[in-house]
Each structure stands twice: as structure tokens, then as C-alpha cells.
């Protein structure tokens, strides 16, 4: 075994149930983009589909893979879809994000007309993130344009928050107010056409920290996988309000051990010199396998349940561990890169700290080529 990921399907379902209970009457959509944040797209989606109001992806390719994998739940594609792919999107009956009133809208309506179908669209509003979306002041006129097209069914109106991971965030209040006003100005037009689109602006952090943002639906991404959106959300809710269960473990084995004399250099660039005689173990995983090079002389994994620091630079497919804390370890010894072994644990948040990034990036960048096994337990 070079390295493999174990995904607990029951942990995913437990997190989904916890999040659904947290938001009460609001619908729960689960975000499975980025290969389900590294957890495996189709397998994750199948596990949580019965608990999901809809599944959210970024690309049409992800949506089509879900349909091919047997997913029948509503799927919302949050990202752009090329005009040449609209026919495939309509055939798969996916919901699309819409923030255009010009050529793309004409292409979308034409594709639906050709199939004698209606397309369910969620209208994106820019409330301050300044990426995709109509300007808030333009929403009423855009809704009027959409409503007069028989091929467009307004299924939702939504936005993205920029700073919801913070407990004290005036910007979140500003964005929510902007969204609420934009929707209110568009509501008479919506009502005149009998449209009642879902309002959604909250992702995991906002749904946890800002109850007012839950509206009609929440989009849960990182929390579904048992990971906290930020340290502040964990401090505010961990244990007392909700408990999240990490669903992913990353495991491997040592492929060699060796004695190293004092002063010997280990790894590329000779960035580490043994301070004494020591035993080290070779792990057949490196930055091609999702172990950031930033872990060089900084990170640590568990060998037979003992924390063993990385010494020397992380290479493309190998890194070296100091076995001082695991003196009996030998070739074939179990290595836990993410997960628990006995009383010790290495988490995606530990990885994020060593790499100066966020847990989202850590799990999402785990290569799709790594073998994934899916456990019911």
C-alpha cells in the first residue's frame, strides 16, 4: 500500500443530519464540488442524497458525472456553463446559475426552446464579494426580463458572503441587508408571475454563526465533511451546539527504516542534519500525493500511534520521518497522515497550520488518483 484514503459514509450522513437539524425549516443543500472536497464525488453524493434538498457543484462535468452515477436529486451548477454545453445541461435536467440578461440568456432560452423544455435557474446577485452576479440594483429589471421568457423558471435567487466565518462581521450584515432589499424590490414582479424562488445566501459558516442568513435554504460544504469553516465557528459551536465528525482518514506504511549517524544530511537541499544518531523511516508519499512541500522540517505524522516529525524536505513521492518516538517501528509500520491512531490524532487543520492555508484546500487537493475506500462505519 502506497497510500489510501478511508471515507466514513456514516460520518457524512451524521454531519448531514446534524446540519439539517441546526437550520430547522430551511432546506439543506450539500456542496460536492471539487470531488466532494476530495472525499469522492459520486460515493459522497449517493450517501447523502436522501438527506439533501439538492446537491451543488461548480461545473457541468461534475453534474453529468453525478447523473451517470445514479443521482436523481436536483443538482445546481453554481459555475458558468459554456453555451455549447447547454443542451447537455438541459438533457441532464440540472439547475443553472444565471447572472446574464444578454447573449447567454438568449442562448439558454434558445436551448430550452429547442428541447420544448423549461430550465430552472437560480439568479446570482453580487452583494459585495464582487465575483459573479448581477448588481443588486439591477435585480428587479433582470427578474422582469426572465419572467417574460417562458423557457426560464426562476427556482432561486442567491448570493455569496465574503466574511461569514467571523462572529463580529459588519460586512456580513451589510451583504444580508443588500440582498434582502434587492429581493424585496423584485418581489412584486415575482409575485405577478406566480414565482416564489428560494432565497439562499448562507454557506456553512453563515448557517452556523448567523441564523438570520439561513433564509429558505443553506448550502453546506466544508461542514458536511466534518471540518469547521474557521476556528471561530468551532469555538462558538463545537460540542454544546453541534458536533461534526471528520469523514476522511489518510493512511500509509513505512517502506524502509534506516539508522542515520550524527551530522548526516537528510533529503534534497540538505536542509536537515541529524543532531544525533537516529532512526528514520521512509514514507512513500510526497507533494504529488497531496503532502505539501511546506511540511518540510515542520509537519508530523503518526507511526504506530506515535507522533513522528518530518525531517528534511518533502519530495515529489517521498518524505522521511524521525522515529525517535516510535523506536520499534519497521518497514510496513502503519502511518496515519490524517486521522486518529489510539489517543493521538493528526487533523486537516493541523495540515492547514503547517502549510499556512485552510482545511478546505488541504482535503480538496488530495489527488483523485489516491485509492479511496468507503466505509459504512
Quote the cell numbers at residue 33: 464540488
Burial 305-322 (b: 16+ CB within 10 A, else e): ebbbbbbbbbbeebbbbb
Report whether 6 contacts 248 (CB < 8 A): yes
DSSP-assigned beta bridge partners for residue 370: none
Longest dimension (CA), the chain: 81
User: DSSP assignment of 13-26, as one string?
Assistant: HHHHHHHHHHHTTS
CA 175 to chain centre: 22
Count of CB atoms situated within 10 Å of the CB of 231: 11
Distances (CA, A) of 329 to 301, 323, 334: 13, 7, 9
104 is catalytic: no
Burial 24-61 (b: 16+ CB within 10 A, else e): eebbbbbbbbbbbbbbbbbbbbbbbbebbbbbbbbbbe
CA 169 to chain centre: 22
Q: Which of 104, 171, 181, 268 is catalytic?
A: 268
Please calculate the CA angle 236-237-243 and round it to the nearest 5 degrees. 155
Per DSSP, the three-state class of 259 is strand
CA 121 to chain centre: 22
Q: Which of 33, 124, 225, 287 is catalytic?
A: 33
183 is catalytic: no
The catalytic site residues sit at 33, 268
Amino acid at each position: 500500500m502506497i497510500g489510501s484514503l478511508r471515507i466514513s459514509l456514516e460520518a457524512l450522513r451524521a454531519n448531514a443530519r446534524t446540519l439539517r437539524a441546526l437550520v430547522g425549516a430551511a432546506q439543506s443543500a450539500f456542496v460536492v464540488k471539487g470531488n466532494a472536497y476530495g472525499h469522492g464525488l459520486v460515493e459522497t453524493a449517493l450517501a447523502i442524497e436522501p438527506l439533501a434538498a439538492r446537491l451543488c457543484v461548480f461545473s457541468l462535468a461534475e453534474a453529468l458525472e453525478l447523473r451517470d452515477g445514479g443521482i436523481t436529486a436536483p443538482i445546481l451548477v453554481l459555475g458558468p456553463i459554456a453555451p455549447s454545453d447547454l443542451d447537455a445541461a438541459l438533457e441532464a435536467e440540472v439547475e443553472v446559475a444565471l447572472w446574464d440578461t444578454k447573449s447567454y440568456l438568449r442562448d439558454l432560452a434558445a436551448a430550452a426552446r429547442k428541447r420544448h423544455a423549461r430550465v430552472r435557474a437560480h439568479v446570482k446577485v453580487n452583494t459585495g464579494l464582487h465575483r459573479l452576479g448581477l448588481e443588486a440594483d439591477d435585480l428587479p429589471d433582470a427578474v422582469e426580463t426572465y419572467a417574460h421568457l417562458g423557457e426560464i423558471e426562476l427556482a432561486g435567487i442567491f448570493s455569496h458572503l465574503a466574511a461569514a466565518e467571523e462572529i463580529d462581521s459588519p460586512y456580513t450584515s451589510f451583504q444580508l441587508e443588500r440582498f434582502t432589499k434587492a429581493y424585496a424590490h423584485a418581489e412584486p414582479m415575482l409575485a405577478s408571475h406566480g414565482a416564489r424562488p428560494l432565497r439562499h445566501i448562507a454557506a456553512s459558516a453563515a448557517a452556523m454563526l448567523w441564523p438570520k442568513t439561513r433564509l429558505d435554504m443553506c448550502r453546506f460544504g466544508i461542514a458536511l465533511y466534518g471540518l469547521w469553516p474557521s476556528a471561530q465557528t468551532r469555538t462558538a459551536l463545537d460540542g454544546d451546539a453541534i458536533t461534526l465528525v471528520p469523514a476522511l482518514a489518510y493512511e500509509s506504511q513505512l517502506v524502509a527504516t534506516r539508522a542515520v549517524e550524527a551530522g548526516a544530511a537528510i533529503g534534497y537541499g540538505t536542509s536537515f542534519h541529524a543532531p544525533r544518531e537516529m532512526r528514520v523511516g521512509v514514507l512513500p508519499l510526497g507533494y504529488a500525493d497531496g503532502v505539501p512541500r511546506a511540511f518540510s522540517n515542520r509537519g508530523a505524522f503518526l507511526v504506530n500511534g506515535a507522533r513522528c516529525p518530518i525531517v528534511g524536505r518533502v519530495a515529489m513521492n517521498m518524505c522521511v520521518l524521525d522515529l525517535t518516538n516510535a523506536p520499534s517501528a519497521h518497514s510496513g509500520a502503519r502511518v496515519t497522515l490524517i486521522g486518529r491512531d489510539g489517543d493521538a490524532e493528526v487533523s486537516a487543520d493541523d495540515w492547514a497550520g503547517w502549510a499556512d492555508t485552510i482545511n478546505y484546500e488541504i482535503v480538496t487537493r488530495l489527488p483523485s488518483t489516491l485509492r479511496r475506500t468507503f466505509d459504512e462505519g
